[in-house]
Amino acid sequence: MLTLLGSYAQEESYSASENQKWRIRKDFEQGRLGSITILGYERSNDGTLIIVPEEAEIVRMIFNDFLSGMGKNAIANKLLAMGVPTKGGGIWTAWSIRRILKNEKYCGDLLLQKSYRENHITKRKMPNHGELPQYYVEEAHEAIIDKDTFMLAQELLREKKEYFTPDNPTTGTYPFTGIIHCGCCGKYYRRKVQPYRITWICWTYNARGKRFCPKSKQIPEDILYDKVCEVLRLDEFDNEVFQAEIESITVPKPNVLTFIFNDGHEQTVRWEDHSRSEAWTAEKRSQAAACGKKGAATRERRRKK
């Protein structure tokens, strides 16, 4: 009996879900917007978007700052320093700035059905990559920024993505992934690949700047390998031995590493920065020069536009 009642309830849930989906898709086909929370607008009773003047000024500032050369992290930090709240009351991040810069609603258009629910049981929100039709409505409401400004922002986002995306991207993890954490803010260190070196850097310091994690410092990856070999008394780095022996690495202050072993004991070591003559090899000078030329060419293209 319980099985029959459960099946009946599940079928009712499925039927209600399908009816709701049908209604929402019919609204999309007719260019009508569903429920939404977006900085700069509020939704009227008839479903159209109405500009909120004080919030719209923040949106314009974000686009202007980005097009003037500020990065997404810098803009997020500026808004945090100004005490500007997000629409949902959260903290500004580079990702939230990117979402605003990518949102076509700010130039008066609507792209409907960007996401969908996986099914009526999990109800997990999924990005729509072509699984369902999308609907684009032009001039659906009053714009906060003009389309030329919006398109310039999209082009700049593409250029930055191409510039900072490595030639051979990988989604693999590394021996130190999730192992090193900052003694100042508590966040984990992440791997940062630059044209002429690879370092590990505190997430807060990298995303928010020195003001939010003043004692953090980047650690060259080769120094990390050297110190692991020193602590474990290895001639060369062995990842299996490292994973078997080391639980985590804490960075209590600049140039200091505390290794926490799986058996509970700790060992603290100091490290020194490479001297300029050691770090600035001919190969790295060449890489830095090529990077500078690429950046200059990108800036010149923007100037001409």
Name residues whose C-beta falls within 8 Å of residue 57's C-beta, 6 or more positions apart in sequence.
none
Distance CA 246, CA 240 (A): 10
CA dihedral 135, 138, 144, 149 (to 10 degrees): 100
- Helix segments in the chain, DSSP class H: 2-29, 53-67, 72-82, 94-102, 147-164, 203-208, 221-232, 239-245, 276-279, 282-304
Whole-angstrom Cα distance, residue 230 to residue 240? 16
Predicted pLDDT of residue 14: 62
Q: What is the pLDDT of residue 57?
A: 96
Instruction: Look at residue 18 in the predicted model and tell me its pLDDT.
Output: 57
Q: How far, in Å, CA of 56 to CA of 84, rounded?
A: 12
CA 126 to the chain's CA centroid: 18
Q: CB of 74 within 8 A of CB of 68?
A: no
Q: Is the pTM of this model over 0.75?
A: no
User: Which of 196, 194, 189, 172 minimizes the C-alpha distance to 224?
Assistant: 189
**Residue 141 carries which side chain, given as an amino acid letter?**
H
Residue by residue, pLDDT tens for the chain (305 residues) are 888 777 767 676 666 655 555 455 555 555 556 667 889 999 887 778 899 999 999 999 999 999 999 988 889 989 988 999 888 887 888 889 999 999 999 998 888 777 767 666 666 767 777 777 777 888 888 999 999 999 999 999 998 888 766 666 555 678 999 999 998 888 899 999 887 789 999 988 888 788 888 888 899 999 999 999 999 999 999 999 999 999 999 999 889 999 999 988 899 999 998 765 444 556 655 655 565 565 556 556 655 65
Q: Are strands 246-251 and 180-182 parallel, antiparallel or unpaired?
A: parallel
Main-chain phi, psi angles of 271, to 5 degrees = -135, 150
Q: What pLDDT sits at residue 277?
A: 47
SS3 content of the chain, % helix, strand, coil (to 5): 45, 15, 35
What span, in angstroms and rounded, lies between the C-alpha atoms of 269 and 266? 10
